Chain A
Amino acid sequence: MEQAVARHKRVRIIGKLTPYLFISPWIVGLLLFTIGPLVFSLVMSFFDWPVTSAPKFVGLENYTKMFTNDPQFYKSLAITLKFAVLYVPLSLITSLILAMLISQPVKGVKIFRTIFYLPAVVSGVAVSIIWGWIFNSKYGILNYALSLLGIEGPKWLIDPASAIVTIVIASAWGVGTMMLIFYTNIKGISPDLYESAAIDGAGSIRQFTSITLPLITPTLFFNLITSTISALQQLTLVLLLTNGGPLKSTYFYGLFVYNNAFKHHKLGYASANAWFMFIIILLLTALIFKSSSAWVFYENEVKHERKRGGKKK
């Protein structure tokens, strides 16, 4: 007993330093590669920097221009939020359904697993070309196929109303990564849990809501945060596929920042744009984090209050 107490003490002293040692690679990396550029971009947001010549201090001008004198800023913000609202739930649900499907013990599931994962592997250049062909209104593959069925397809990328939907369809194609994350989590759930639930007479839906769903909340939380971030920063696809059109209906915030930086060469302004989005994402993340204690269950925080049926000791 005494020995144990002594050990505990020693552990506590080392324990003070140990966690920092574990995270030290990240701290070093942060200081080496991240902090500098981050601070630099913040400082630049108070400058007028046309890239090709020296920056000039302008105080808050970039920010006041953004909020009071640039209608595109609000438009892009609105479009991006609309996209996020459409895309985040859709991708979460789709990837979760897919992950459930590929965890089913049916024949050939391995092949499907690979098929669903495949799109995430294909490089963006080819993907954007293919989507461009598929959705071309006049000479596109999809509308041709529809015309064979006697349907006149929509003007996908020409009509502003359908363009954002098209982007959502095309982005949802790459949910393989999220699916895989869910899948890894689902596969980590002990089969015993399901077996005892089945003995208790729980059906598949019941098993999903009472076992699977609570146990994957940590990755659901992860996917929610990361897909929110990526939806709000979506750039590649619109850059390659629509370039913001038609009629600026897909002029996402990410594209707005990118064009300000590399088309209009206003790097200071672009930095201000980026930092504003940074704050929004940070607040959103904080909000999700705050809410997480109510719906995310971590095994090492559960301790003994919440006993699950059939849990092994």
Chain B
Amino acid sequence: MQKAKGKSWFIVVILASLFLSACGGGGTAEPAQDGKSAGKVTVRFATWDSEENLSLQQQLIDKFNEAHPDINVSLEAYGSEYDTKIAAGMGAKDAPDVMYMWNYPTYKDALEPLDEYIGKEGAEFKNNYYETLWNYNSANGKILGLPVGYTTHVIYYNKDLFDKAGVPYPKGGWTWDDLQASAKKLNNPEESISGFAFSGKPDPYDFEMFLWGNGTAYVDKEGNLQGSVNSEKSIEVLTMFQNMLKEGYAITTEGSGSTEMKSGKVAMFSNGAWSIGSLKEAGINFGVVELPAFHDGSAVSIVSSSGISMSKDSKKKEAAWEFIKFWTSEEANKARIDYELPVLKSVVESEKLQQDERKQVFYNMLEQSQDYTPASYKVENWSEISDRLGLVFEQIFNPSTMTDPKAALDEAAQ
């Protein structure tokens, strides 16, 4: 008897553990929200923005939900691991219905082409956007996302350091020679002040703008690296950057450079609009100016654009489009104005952004950069080429290698 009792206890424990697990923690987890709850369509919307802007986005969504009693948009925020999550979702055929997007060539097969949706809204709808941005939100000739924001790259400069060294602030239309001359004057090893800082392992996507500025690019029209990435002009660009390091008034940074800039010891660095907020918070007295031009070239910037896309597998496309339209409306553009540069011409006009001391610089750069398309849109295997180029740039800039640019680029072109 005793034995049987013990035995049953044993089974009870096992069953209990099975049961417990089957309930998944007894009611702590709400049942999953399926497509419809109480006649509402739930639209999943994923954003990569960090917490700083999430409350604002939630407010906007609440507004939308109130105005649309039949739709319920739920916000999903994934921060810096956004890509991992989205890829996993797509792989498992469970991607969010609506999501932020920038890397269209990589994700194009999982995104819904939007040309038809846009066509229905009339020509005015499309024309209100800056033309350049459509190129960046398409792949293979199809529009895959509506522009939400963008940034061009500019030079940030520390006004206090300029004042202290008695160097005049840079102005639009300046050249790399001007930048170097200023950097030389600003550089001060005794106080650990660096004249200019750029990333020691730049993202090849961003770095292509410097090649554009000198009239070349990574690839030619056919998508070949040979003869473009190792052209005379490309070598000239990289040699110039390397020389700045060799001459000692510039440093390479380990990240984008914003950390170094915030230390107050770097006079100039180049980045997108992302740094504005954090530099302000760090109490840096800074200004922004257009990128310098090459002697006979022009100042051109890559556009880092963010768009909003729809999943091809979504079962709620109508509701999703409704929300996408709202998210790209004038109202939403205005609401995001503190952290995102508006992409609608009408908003830029009504908010007088062309008169804003800082923001106008980004718009000027956008207009100057109209006819350039990044290599990532021209080649099939960009992520691999990007890997290779990234390593080459690192070899050129890393103090332990300082590889000759010509040799390094020739190898990259192989």
Chain A contacts to B: CB under 8 angstroms: 14, 21, 24-25, 28, 49-53, 132-133, 136-139, 155, 157-161, 245-248, 261-265, 267
Contact = CB atoms under 8 A, between A and B. Distances in A.
A225 to B, nearest CB: 27
Contact of B400 (A161, A265, A267): A161
B259 A136 contact: yes
A158 B384 contact: no
Contacts of A262: 83-84, 87
A247 B109 contact: no
A158 to B, nearest CB: 6
A21 B12 CA distance: 12
A263 B255 CA distance: 19
25 contacts: A24-B14, A25-B18, A51-B87, A52-B90, A132-B254, A138-B253, A138-B260, A139-B259, A139-B260, A139-B263, A155-B400, A158-B252, A158-B399, A158-B400, A159-B399, A159-B400, A245-B201, A246-B201, A246-B394, A246-B400, A247-B394, A247-B398, A247-B400, A262-B83, A263-B383
A136 B262 CA distance: 14
B400 to A, nearest CB: 5
Contacts of B110: 51-53
Contacts of A245: 201, 394
Interface residues of B, number: 39
Contacts of B188: none
B106 interface: yes
Contact of B17 (A25, A49, A133): A25
Pairs A-B, 5 closest by C-beta atoms: A52-B110, A52-B109, A53-B109, A51-B91, A264-B383
B291 interface: no
A192 to B, nearest CB: 33
A210 to B, nearest CB: 41
A132 to B, nearest CB: 7
Nearest to A28: B18
B14 A21 contact: yes
B83 A139 contact: no
Contacts of B383: 263-265
Contacts of B329: none
A49 B90 CA distance: 12
B265 A139 contact: yes
Nearest to B394: A247
A262 B91 CA distance: 11
A52 B95 CA distance: 10
A265 B87 CA distance: 8
Contact of A160 (B107, B201, B400): B400
Given A155-B400, A247-B401, 12 more contacts: A14-B7, A21-B11, A49-B91, A50-B109, A136-B259, A138-B192, A158-B398, A158-B400, A160-B398, A160-B400, A247-B395, A265-B87
A280 to B, nearest CB: 24
Interface in B250-301: 251-255, 259-260, 263, 265
A7 B222 CA distance: 84
B200 interface: yes
Given A53-B109, A158-B399, A138 B14 contact: no
A263 B107 CA distance: 11
A24 B18 CA distance: 11
Contacts of A53: 109-110
Interface string B175-205: 0000000000000000010100000110000
Contact of A157 (B90, B251, B254, B265): B254
